[in-house]
């Protein structure tokens, strides 16, 4: 599908016997149609360094994979449906037309309860953080252990990939930001080489598991209990990670919102529930993981900046990049 097709589907298409008459929301890898009680997520036909949605067969495969993996967290994922076109008529579901794509059906949640929205309005309570941390801890305890060895070369490449994104938007970035990225890359290479035995120790202790992979505030609804959604389905390596790397994402995200107190509360609650997963000797590893998470968010924002056309959007994206780069510098200072 193309964006124009998704727009027509959202406005004029049908699901079952009802006209969608929906709102189309776009992310960097998906289109989401919000209609009535449901949201329908459609994967863009993309091929990037970390995912491949380039064919209809692959998009179908990963729609079903998304349903399977996210059902571990909540019951908001309902099913997968073909998107069919018959003449000029569009429909989600079978109707004897040509299957042009697939959509994941989800229950539509109240966007005002999404954690990042609540954080932006200073509406997140400590008891909600405690409930979320306990839920994440329980899931981590039950998640399958992954026994792949720690690969130093892969770990360096993961951090250093920010350099590619930085180069793509160098004219917009400014020299000081480019230099900050270069310094962070040099620090990461040194840290990983010096601590590779510690990373491998955590693998051997069973702390690398098949978890969520993208646990930040934009992927949580603070209902009672919290609803965690939108885990990584398109790349097992991004999802099968050290549990502390997962926790680090939420803590870094909270700190990016200026909520260090909530970050500390999340970590201490998680530690209380899983005392073996984070001991004092893991403190530097956890700090590195937070730096890496800030790195990844900065990189994703750089990619968005490269595509942005509106000057206001560019200003907002640059502000977010600066925030993540500042966090990277602060985490390194504590090394």
pLDDT of 100-134, one tens digit each? 999 999 999 999 999 999 999 999 999 999 999 99
The share of the chain scoring above pLDDT 90, in percent, equals: 84
Long-range contacts of 315-318 (CB under 8 A, 24+ apart): 318/172
Token pair in block for residue 88: 């000029």
pLDDT of 161-186, one tens digit each? 999 888 888 788 888 888 899 999 99
Q: What is the pLDDT of residue 138?
A: 97
Is the whole-model pTM more than 0.85?
yes
Strand 89-92 and strand 14-15: the pairing is parallel
pLDDT of 3-36, one tens digit each? 999 999 999 999 988 999 999 999 889 999 999 9
The share of the chain scoring above pLDDT 70, in percent, equals: 100
Contact indicator for 1, 79 with CB cutoff of 8 Å:
no
Q: What is the pLDDT of residue 59?
A: 98
Average pLDDT over residues 136-159: 96
**Element (DSSP H or E) covering residue 232:** none
> How far is 205 from 196, CA to CA, in rounded Å?
14
| DSSP state for residue 83 in the 8-state scheme | E
Average pLDDT over residues 135-147: 97
**Which residue shows structure tokens 């409930």?**
131
DSSP SS3 for 99? strand
DSSP SS3 for 167? helix
Average pLDDT across the chain, whole number: 95
Q: Is the pLDDT of residue 74 over 80?
A: yes
Which of 85-99, 104-118, 223-237, 262-276 has the weakest average pLDDT? Answer: 85-99
Token pair in block for residue 277: 């997963």
Q: What is the pLDDT of residue 28?
A: 82
Domains delineated in the chain: 3-108 (3.30.200), 115-333 (3.90.1200.10)
- The DSSP code sequence of 158-190 is HHHTHHHHHHHTHHHH-HHHHHHHHHHHHHHHH
| DSSP state for residue 47 in the 8-state scheme | B
Of 272, 273, 330, 324, the residue nearest 301 (C-alpha): 324
Q: What is the pLDDT of residue 104?
A: 98
> How far is 289 from 278, CA to CA, in rounded Å?
13
Task: Quickly state the pLDDT bin for 203 (edges 50, 70, 90).
Answer: very high
pLDDT of 270-324, one tens digit each? 999 999 999 989 999 999 999 999 999 999 898 888 878 888 888 999 999 999 9
> How far is 210 from 139, CA to CA, in rounded Å?
10
Q: What is the pLDDT of residue 290?
A: 98
Token pair in block for residue 82: 């073909």
Contact indicator for 222, 128 with CB cutoff of 8 Å:
yes
Q: Is the pLDDT of residue 155 over 80?
A: yes
Average pLDDT over residues 188-201: 97
> How far is 195 from 148, CA to CA, in rounded Å?
17
């Amino acid at each position: 599908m193309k964006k124009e097709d998704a727009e027509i589907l959202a406005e004029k298409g049908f699901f079952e016997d009802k006209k969608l008459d929906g709102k189309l929301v776009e992310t960097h890898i998906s289109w989401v149609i919000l209609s009535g009680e449901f949201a329908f997520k459609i994967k863009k036909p993309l091929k990037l360094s970390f995912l491949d949605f380039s064919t209809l067969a692959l998009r179908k495969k990963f729609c079903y994979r998304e349903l399977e993996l996210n059902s571990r967290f909540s019951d908001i994922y309902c099913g997968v449906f073909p998107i069919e076109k018959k003449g000029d008529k569009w429909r989600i579901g079978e109707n004897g037309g040509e299957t042009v794509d697939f959509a994941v059906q989800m229950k539509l949640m109240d966007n005002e309860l999404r954690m990042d929205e609540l954080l932006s309005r200073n509406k997140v309570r400590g008891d909600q953080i405690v409930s979320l941390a306990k839920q994440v801890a329980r899931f981590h305890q039950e998640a399958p252990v992954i026994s792949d060895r720690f690969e130093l070369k892969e770990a360096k490449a993961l951090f250093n990939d920010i350099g590619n994104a930085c180069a793509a938007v160098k004219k917009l970035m400014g020299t000081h930001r480019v230099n900050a990225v270069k310094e962070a890359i040099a620090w990461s290479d040194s840290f990983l080489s010096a601590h590779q035995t510690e990373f491998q120790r955590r693998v051997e202790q069973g702390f690398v598991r098949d978890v969520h992979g993208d646990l930040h505030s934009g992927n949580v609804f603070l209902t009672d209990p919290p609803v965690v959604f939108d885990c990584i389905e398109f790349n097992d390596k991004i999802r099968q990670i050290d549990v502390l790397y997962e926790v680090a994402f939420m803590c870094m995200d909270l700190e990016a919102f200026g909520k260090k107190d909530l970050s500390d509360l999340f970590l201490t609650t998680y530690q209380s529930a899983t005392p073996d997963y984070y001991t004092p000797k893991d403190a530097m590893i956890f700090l590195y993981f937070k730096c890496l998470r800030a790195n990844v968010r900065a990189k994703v924002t750089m990619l968005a900046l490269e595509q942005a056309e509106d000057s206001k959007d560019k200003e907002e994206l640059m502000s977010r990049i600066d925030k993540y780069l500042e966090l990277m510098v602060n985490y390194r200072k504590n090394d």
